[in-house]
A and B are shown apart, each in its own frame.
Chain A
Amino acid sequence: MNCQYCYDGTLAGLLTLYARLLAERAVVERISVTPLDQQSLFNSEISISADQAVAETFWQRLTKRLSDNSLKLLRRCLLADHPQQELLIYHYLLLEAEQGRKIDGMLAHPQVAPVWKLSQQVAREAHRYLGFVRFQQLQGGLYYATIAPDHRILLLIGAHFAERFSDQQWVIHDQRHGEGILYDAEKKEWLLLPMEVTAQPDLTPEEAQFQELWRSYFSTLAIPERTNLKLQQGKVPLKTRSCLIEFTV
């Protein structure tokens, strides 16, 4: 019996796969993403191709069945960037199919705990990035920010920035996952798009001054007698600092 499955990496593909697997309560060892050109006759994995209609029906049913809590958990896990997230989610859905809404309370269950932990990680990172986005004002008036988060958190933070900076044209670009949010201040809408850097953006003269002011303000805040770099590093991990004005020169 073959227990390894793969899909095309899209959400529709994954949902199609879940719909199929759950229907037969299949035992699964591995779910992976395989680029099409690597699929061959000798591949022992079963490849399932995306079916938009199946995916949509499945998602609609799921959103009706699940409690708000599990739905939230599921959304976050789908946005995670974790080598095993597909399988973890599958095990969670499998248990849900048996237990229904009872799973909400089964936090310690081995099929729930890992998913729940992952969703917490995604949520925590999303919350952290509400603070870690740094806009730079470009010639022409656009405010542009780059981030490099572990998980694909853009969809979780878009609404916050759309409300807060509703009168300003802005972009938040996730360079790690090659996507970004573009906000249109006229239409008051935001969109998630694939995105790439092409050229070094041109900053306004005012921008450089505000960056200097911010850096000098930030360095003034520290109280030397209390220096605790370890604590600071726990809060602002080194990998996040390249996008933070106050940590760059």
Chain B
Amino acid sequence: MATDLMDRLKILADGAKYDVSCSSSGSSRANSNGGIGSAASTGICHTWTSDGRCVSLLKILMTNRCIYDCAYCINRRSNDVQRVTLSPAEVAELTIGFYRRNYIEGLFLSTGVVRSADYTMELLIQAVRTLREQYRFNGYIHLKLVPGADPLLVQQAGLWADRVSVNLELPTRESLQLLAPDKSRDAVIQPMRQVSNLIVTNRAERKQSRKVPSFAPAGQSTQLIVGATGESDRQIVTLSEQLYQRLDLKRVYYSAFIPTVADTRLPARPEAPLRREHRLYQADWLLRYYGFSAHELLDEASPNLDSELDPKTGWALRHLELFPLEINRASYEELLRVPGVGVRSAQRIIQARRQGHLGIDDLTRLGIVMKRARYFITARGRYVGEIKLENSSLRSRLVDGPKQKRPVQLSLDLEQPVVDETASLITGEL
């Protein structure tokens, strides 16, 4: 192991870091074969980068060589950068070395395309197979599928990995055509469909017999680049909704486009790209955990998310007729729609009010953050919003102050709104 390996690791980590998927949750693989590792179902962050993102996986490219020429990508064929490669054996050794020291939860392996989609896919599979078979590694593995790879290879990949993903990258067929001319929409969608079907079949088979090996137990995800082309938030959020509903995706990740290469097909630096990304994640959250649908958040009249308001507050301001809500009577679903009230808070309110009506002070004691919520609720009939419930006056109080200017990527701890992460950890008797 020499400086050479260090240099290659740097280049290949750098090439993968803009892939935003950091999640290692949703899979639990017990250490059953006497080997090493287990996948924790709630995800564990091992450290945080100086930009505040959770690090839980060794996230690297196998190689940054590529035969394709996607306009938004630093590894595009026509870009003049140093090209390096890790062998499947080296990937496996690095992963195990990091894992044994508890640096990581597992591996996130992506790659540029060398020779052909199939050849590249085979290299990825070989690395993962070495980990699973030779090192008996039970930790988390997220594997990228190469668009256009043979369906048989796609199937194999899902048998070794916990999660697989194909990056959709651009929201529409036209944008893809424009910026990634070598990738067809079908080459991207086809493996997603296949994986979705295989997951469904596999789930059914495993109900019959636990001996059937599991296929991508943590499901599939995808990534969209936002701001490189002209789609509206409405188009994007509606697409995500379809991906969740029709293809049963676990997550859609959004990556604000920050130009790393110059190209005439690309827009000049878009305005506040990170804030837009942040708002999209919030809207996505509302789709997955709060029972909202895309058309409630965005419509023809307002096709883009309000950059000054989080989407839930925006929705509430458009529906003031539903508020204020009496927290002692509201249903769980209604509570979830109150700005500032999250899943945990809603659960806590429901639980606590079983023992008697809650007043405003009780809410504070329960740890409910009242900053936003106070304008939208009453407790025992009492309203503490202090101003009249009307759009114009409320709006000025609810827009994000300067403190929140800096958007943060929603990270893993938000992924655990429902389960108690330490539930399984409490050991026997004291």
Contacts and interface: CB of A to CB of B under 8 A. Distances in A.
Interface of A: 11, 59, 63, 72, 75-76, 78-79, 102, 104-110, 113, 117, 123, 126-127, 130-137, 143, 145, 155-161, 163-168, 206, 209-210, 212-214, 216-218, 220-229, 231-232, 235-236, 244-246
Contact of A133 (B102, B348, B423): B102
Of the listed residues A104, A143, A236, the one surrounded by the most CB atoms of chain B closer than 10 A to its CB is: A236
Range class of the B interface residue count:
35 or more
Nearest to B51: A226
A246 B366 contact: no
Nearest to B412: A131
A214 B103 contact: yes
A163 B31 contact: yes
A173 to B, nearest CB: 14
B426 A156 contact: yes
A210 B420 contact: no
B351 A232 contact: no
B420 A123 contact: yes
A113 B235 CA distance: 45
B265 interface: no
Closest 3 pairs between A and B when the two form their complex, measured CB to CB: A231-B52, A226-B51, A108-B362
A130 to B, nearest CB: 5
B36 A157 contact: no
B47 A107 contact: no
10 contacts: A59-B430, A123-B422, A160-B425, A166-B34, A213-B5, A213-B98, A222-B49, A222-B50, A226-B52, A229-B50
Contacts of A161: 102
A175 B94 CA distance: 29
B5 to A, nearest CB: 7
A134 B9 contact: no
Contact of A159 (B56, B355, B365, B425): B425
B341 to A, nearest CB: 15
Interface stretch (B37-45, B246-254, B294-302): B37-45
Interface in B277-332: none
Given A156-B422, A159-B427, A232-B52, A135 B98 contact: no
B14 A220 contact: yes
Interface string B41-64: 000111111111111101100000
B417 interface: no
Contacts of B362: 108
Contact of A168 (B17, B36, B44, B51): B36
Contacts of A134: 101-103
Nearest to A225: B258
A99 to B, nearest CB: 9
Contacts of A227: 50-51
B13 interface: yes
B97 interface: yes
Given A221-B49, A221-B55, A226 B274 contact: yes
Nearest to B407: A226
Contacts of B50: 222, 227-229, 232
B6 A212 contact: yes
Contacts of B371: none
B45 A235 contact: yes
